[in-house]
Structure 1
């Protein structure tokens, strides 16, 4: 009996596995953070396990994309979909139809890009589920999940540099930076619009919620620690606060969580 559900029962083959590969579009070696299941356009995509939809919409090179928080630090995501059948915040059951296979985003043909994260780190989906795990033999929980995920974090205060190379006073979406709106830069795997709540820094910012609207080359996930840059009101405030380790609550408060990129794709 299966603890999880294979997300695309009508797939024809695994067209690309997990790990480093020569990217079919860019022609360079890139890390592939999931498995590609070749399927006809419109083939149903099923929820791998019960949980809460944290992202449903366009997400950079992944095209039409859905991520689901299954609780316990486990998140799954589906990219290149032709249609999305559930919205952010929806509770889904294992085996529920959530989307349809397509070729949106950076894609060379119809397939499902299926990926998973555990506590913020990419993991091989084939270590959890196989094509033998059908809806009929599913033995896991019928419902569950949470819209939030708490991770280890390194928060760095920043104030925009007045030069075009570093984006100036514009965020990655081209909007003027406004410290009063409590925005932050996050790793590429955290979609724009995600809510990030600061915890455990021992400062007045604990409990303050920021919205992801920016990126940065050094803003990554290292050894399971998420890096976030918090926009401050001035250079002086930025220098006073510096860097602090703590925890970040990803999602909740109307936000989204999950791990994929927006504009920086490893699909």
Structure 2
């Protein structure tokens, strides 16, 4: 019984070791099959194709520019592959960490912030189909940033691309990348410029006022030399205009005479009776 149990345990342990070896085969295969040089011994090159596409509106983003920077180069030491910082990023001290999720923009953002102003990268315009293609690139880890946003959209977040890229146990030297596009921003129509008034070399001039005919001179009221002027009052104060008219005076006088005559006539008639 004891010998049988020992055989069972040994068989189970052997099965576990076989499973571990099988699961590790793709990693060893990809590490062994990577090509860092071509048949002539020249360094291998690759291509990165970036496509900007809005899944919500089902349309490609047109215009704008993408810039890529080579962050690290591929190194193989004792059969192990690793990225080593190079160029503008050499000695940056930023931990690369786990690169399984290259779409994580946190690491890409830190690397982009590290770049010194004026750092040179490879620039490509985004065509009408939303594509930007970078060809004949050295192998390594690349930082992709949108240095000019597409029309109507915010710039995409920076991201990293590995060249070559391990996929299904193989190394891809022609890599496609489709990052999440930036937020949609409706375009505001431009306001036409208001034409400016030409300025004379001698400075702005005031437009001339058209000439008006001179008003006839009004006769002046002779000053009253006998009455001295009082402080705060003009020498010849004018009467305020009240709007009174003179024509009702004779009308009322005639009306009164008529009423008087009519009453006198009635009075004599009553007395006669």
Pairwise same-fold verdict (TM > 0.5): no
Larger radius of gyration: 2
**TM-score between both structures, scaled by the size of structure 1:** 0.21
The structure richer in strand per residue is 1
